[in-house]
A and B are shown apart, each in its own frame.
Chain A
Amino acid sequence: MIQDLATHYLNFLPPPLRTIRWRAHPLDGKLLLFDRDSGLNVLLEGDEVAHIRRVAPRALLIAVTNACNMTCPFCYRDLKSPSGWRPDTLLAFCQQADDWGVLELAFGGGEPTLFPDWAGFLTELYETTGLCLNFTTNGTLLSADFLQSIAGKYGQIRLSIYEDNHPDQTIGLLVENQARFGINWLITPAELPGIEAKFGRLYDLGVRDYLFLSYKGSDPALHLRPPEREQLAGFLNDQYRALGSAVALKLDSCWGDALPSVPRLFQSDDCGAGDDILSITSDKHIKPCSFHQTWTGMPFETLADVRAYWEKRRLARSIALIGGCARLPERGLTEEGVVRDEVIRLAAVQQ
């Protein structure tokens, strides 16, 4: 049993950490212990765990609905996909994912707060599984009542910030209600001139967790060119020096090696799409990550189908056929940010 692993290796932990109710997540030759309430991770490596093999992805990224109350031009989702999940079917699916050994769920969409009785769904899922529940939202439909009703039952809310979704107001609401949250901030060239001022303003509002997203798509004006990437890297290093552990500075894995001068907590040569994470669409297709085009997704009926797909394909390192994917050479871009179609065509043929 997976959970027996946590008990078996408890004595390897320092005494202060042994009282935590860890959830075990086997990796290839390693063991991860995770506590969903604190977000604490412990990775065990050594001869004692070398025999262990991975049995499930760490996280499923689930689009609970394709409906959204905003119309962002850079949204990567297929607008025509139907929304196939119902509360009972999604709950059952997630409970089965818990049994499989998945550690976390990251809900998105569309806009997940449009899902019927979203607070009730999160509550029931938290109380009937050991899963860590997270969701990404535009924040426009959040309320104090909602945040209070889910308090303590989720890992983190990720707030996407745009110009037209009144993020300041939403951040105030999240802070006021002691929500555990971070912001998702898409970094395009237009963001760079005012990035320090905006960062400071968000900090003053109470933001302490920043995820800097890279653009994925075909618009060269939205990709950072090398001097702009250097500027971003310099900014990140400056903020880390100034604020240290007072803030969490995160980069999405699609940056790949595009920001080499920024030191990372984890050094990895791959984003983990399809292995560490798996994407589930609103119309019940499986994709290695959210940026794979919908027509490359595999339809499924049951969790067993998802599991079979993952076991067969997890080491394939499938490439998202989109400019900015870290698995493409130079992320599929020229220095001017233009998508190199020939690289993407070649990747499509080779998959």
Chain B
Amino acid sequence: MKLSVWQQFSSNHSSRFEMVGVFRTAEDAAKAGQTLLDMLREINDWYVANVSGRADIDLHPSPVERALAERFGIKWNDYTLGEWLGFDPEGRGPVQIVNNLVIVDGWESDTGAKPLDDIVRRLGGNAFVDGTLEHIDLAPGAEFPILLEIRPEVSFTLTCRFTSPADAEALLKAITLGYEDAPRGEPFKLHTGTSEITIEEIEYNPTILSLKRARMRPLYGGFRRLLGFLTERGVSQFKCEFFETRSALTMIDQGRNS
């Protein structure tokens, strides 16, 4: 029996992602986040210095990335991260550290989060990816590669502590206003102005609001903005648990991400 495999349409025009690395302490996160940022800056600097135009584009990993793969003992992506990395004139890049979380914004990525999740694990964290993790080539060496996109989804339970019961109640109202008119089984929704978060369940006492099994579409860049949004509304502390679900396609993953 002869099998031919191909893709009818591109799985997406880009491979954006947001990755959240969860560390045991804020100190661990700060250290790991800085390591990650320095590494990405090194990759970006090499790419900027060696790729000046479309004719120079080589999507394979750069020498810097090959060295990093060896250093961390991981398998690098088939594509260079330099293709999407960027730092602004003030040197700010796609990494943000918030308490015990290291958040990587892959808004510009065409290649997915791999191997950043493996690096976060090597640095002692637990990595959650929302968006594109990687592409698996089902036909290595073929003239027309078949790339299967692995797209996990992340949900989270966010428990917020407010200093003022009035602030907690105000946010609760923002979520539940009009909810009694919603069709049965509809999740709650919170609009932050830049994102919409769906929330399956809410727990509330006067100063603590827990948003359970929440999803944000898309997560890219949105989680950082959500934390900012909540801070502006009186959240003094938060605790977050992440859960990753995978589509049926990701069952094809051959254990590289465990």
* A19 with B252: CB separation less than 8 A: yes
Q: How far apart sit A217 and B108, CA to CA, in the bound complex (Å)?
A: 41
Kindly list chain B residues whose C-beta atoms are within 8 Å of the C-beta of A265.
6, 144
B145 CB within 8 Å of chain A? yes
Partner pick for A46 among B1, B16, B110, B144, CB 8 A cutoff? B1
* B5 with A207: CB separation less than 8 A: no
Kindly list chain B residues whose C-beta atoms are within 8 Å of the C-beta of A151.
217
B residues 144-178 touching A (CB-CB < 8 Å):
144-149
B49 CB within 8 Å of chain A? no
A residues 152-194 touching B (CB-CB < 8 Å):
155-156, 174-175, 178-182
Which stretch, B54-62, B206-214, B232-240, touches the partner chain A?
Answer: B54-62
A72 CB within 8 Å of chain B? no
The contact string, 1 if C-beta is below 8 Å from chain B, for chain A 137-162, is 00000000000100100011000000
Q: How far apart sit A34 and B6, CA to CA, in the bound complex (Å)?
A: 10
Partner pick for B12 among A43, A44, A134, A178, CB 8 A cutoff? A178
Residue of A nearest to B143 (CB): A263
B187 CB within 8 Å of chain A? no
Kindly list chain A residues whose C-beta atoms are within 8 Å of the C-beta of B10.
39, 156, 180, 182, 208-209, 248
A21 CB within 8 Å of chain B? yes
Kindly list chain A residues whose C-beta atoms are within 8 Å of the C-beta of B182.
none
B222 CB within 8 Å of chain A? no
Which one of A179, A180, A246 has the highest number of Cβ atoms from chain B below 10 Å of its Cβ? A246
A16-B138, A17-B252, A20-B249 given; A39·B11 CB < 8 A: yes
* B12 with A180: CB separation less than 8 A: yes
* B7 with A207: CB separation less than 8 A: no
* A43 with B248: CB separation less than 8 A: no
Kindly list chain A residues whose C-beta atoms are within 8 Å of the C-beta of B16.
178
Kindly list chain A residues whose C-beta atoms are within 8 Å of the C-beta of B2.
44-46
The DSSP consensus for interface residues of chain A is: mixed
Which one of B16, B218, B248 has the highest number of Cβ atoms from chain A below 10 Å of its Cβ? B248
A271 CB within 8 Å of chain B? no
Q: How far apart sit A46 and B57, CA to CA, in the bound complex (Å)?
A: 41
* B8 with A41: CB separation less than 8 A: yes
The contact string, 1 if C-beta is below 8 Å from chain B, for chain A 19-60, is 111000000000000100111111111111100000000000
Kindly list chain B residues whose C-beta atoms are within 8 Å of the C-beta of A148.
217
The contact string, 1 if C-beta is below 8 Å from chain A, for chain B 45-84, is 0000000001101010000000000000000000000000
Kindly list chain A residues whose C-beta atoms are within 8 Å of the C-beta of B4.
41-43, 45
* B13 with A245: CB separation less than 8 A: no
* A180 with B11: CB separation less than 8 A: yes
The DSSP consensus for interface residues of chain B is: loop
B residues 108-167 touching A (CB-CB < 8 Å):
110, 138, 143-149
Kindly list chain B residues whose C-beta atoms are within 8 Å of the C-beta of A206.
13-14
Residue of A nearest to B145 (CB): A245
Residue of A nearest to B57 (CB): A242
A-B pairs with CB below 8 Å: how many?
114
Partner pick for A19 among B8, B110, B147, B251, CB 8 A cutoff? B251
* B13 with A246: CB separation less than 8 A: no
* B12 with A20: CB separation less than 8 A: no
Partner pick for B14 among A34, A38, A175, CB 8 A cutoff? A175
A87 CB within 8 Å of chain B? no
How far, in Å, is B56 (CB) from chain A's closest CB? 10
How far, in Å, is A324 (CB) from chain B's closest CB? 24
Kindly list chain A residues whose C-beta atoms are within 8 Å of the C-beta of B7.
38-41, 248
Q: How far apart sit A16 and B250, CA to CA, in the bound complex (Å)?
A: 10
Interface residues on B, range: 35 or more
Kindly list chain B residues whose C-beta atoms are within 8 Å of the C-beta of A42.
3-5
B254 CB within 8 Å of chain A? yes
* A182 with B252: CB separation less than 8 A: no
Residue of A nearest to B15 (CB): A208
The contact string, 1 if C-beta is below 8 Å from chain B, for chain A 113-128, is 0000000000000000
* A16 with B254: CB separation less than 8 A: yes
Q: How far apart sit A140 and B251, CA to CA, in the bound complex (Å)?
A: 38
* A49 with B1: CB separation less than 8 A: yes
Residue of B nearest to A16 (CB): B252
Q: How far apart sit A37 and B249, CA to CA, in the bound complex (Å)?
A: 10
Q: How far apart sit A270 and B252, CA to CA, in the bound complex (Å)?
A: 35
Residue of B nearest to A264 (CB): B144
Q: How far apart sit A246 and B143, CA to CA, in the bound complex (Å)?
A: 13
* B9 with A182: CB separation less than 8 A: yes
Residue of B nearest to A20 (CB): B248
A82 CB within 8 Å of chain B? no
How far, in Å, is A51 (CB) from chain B's closest CB? 13
Q: How far apart sit A132 and B8, CA to CA, in the bound complex (Å)?
A: 11
Kindly list chain A residues whose C-beta atoms are within 8 Å of the C-beta of B13.
174-175, 179-181, 206-209
How far, in Å, is B254 (CB) from chain A's closest CB? 7
Would you list the 6 A-B pairs with minimal beta carbon distance, nearest first?
Answer: A46-B1, A39-B8, A156-B9, A16-B252, A43-B4, A39-B9
B binding-site residues for A, Cβ under 8 Å: 1-14, 16, 54-55, 57, 59, 110, 138, 143-149, 217-218, 247-249, 251-252, 254
Give me 14 other A-B pairs in contact (C-beta within 8 A), A48-B1, A155-B8, A242-B54 excluded: A12-B1, A13-B3, A19-B252, A38-B249, A43-B3, A43-B4, A44-B3, A45-B4, A46-B2, A156-B8, A174-B13, A175-B14, A208-B14, A244-B59
24 contacts between A and B (CB under 8 A): A14-B138, A16-B252, A39-B7, A40-B7, A41-B4, A41-B6, A43-B5, A44-B2, A45-B4, A148-B217, A174-B13, A175-B13, A178-B14, A178-B218, A180-B9, A180-B10, A180-B12, A209-B9, A209-B13, A242-B55, A243-B57, A245-B145, A246-B110, A263-B143
